[in-house]
Structure 1
């Protein structure tokens, strides 16, 4: 995974309330799935609102500056915004895929080893598909191969 997408995936949602687990509660029960459905939907909505704001901003701010330096600055700003929106577009697809995992009862378990990913890790990164141990091993392997 490219480094730039890691920062985009970290979430901070308005009105987020951590899930309060009950003693003896079964992992990924209906209440937990509802919690993550809501979290993912809120995240997706916020990302989509940001896309709308970008389009409006670019329409409003688009100007044909006579000065080449001003024009270049604006083009660079728009380019950065579009790259960010492209990462967010990919993230929206990942959120949709994650919501499908919830519907298929496959959410919350590591793709690599099958263990529970854990409520707190999923709250920090709701699209996580690996437990922290497998993800750490993958990152170490990635550094050894790519670095």
Structure 2
């Protein structure tokens, strides 16, 4: 995934696409920060880590959009939305609501989860198996719905 991002940086430079180039540079900077241990211990960054970084960046931009909309700064809202579109191009395809419910139901049956006390175990298994593929807020709601 990192090789693809690095190649896309070069392509964006050649094409003169400033928005894409800026966003890709932000991605590479966040990856380097994680590698160097800015804010934590230095670590090797794999594809799963890159996905987590991208998801965090998308979440930050969504929060910024809400703030900018309240302030009436539509120019900044448009910029954040453009960055989200670029970031999401590198994320795995997200499961739909039906897919999330089916995955949750199958995992609950597989683990033999019986009640609310098993929710942590189910959520942990979901995060392990479906990292980057589902919204865990929605998944949590589905687990609560099924387990009661």
TM range (shorter): 0.3 to 0.5
Q: Which has the larger radius of gyration?
A: 1
- Normalised by the size of structure 2, how large is the TM-score? 0.36
Higher relative contact order (CA 8 A, sep 6+): 1
Q: TM-score, normalised by structure 1?
A: 0.36
Instruction: Tell me which protein shows more helix as a share of its residues.
Output: 2
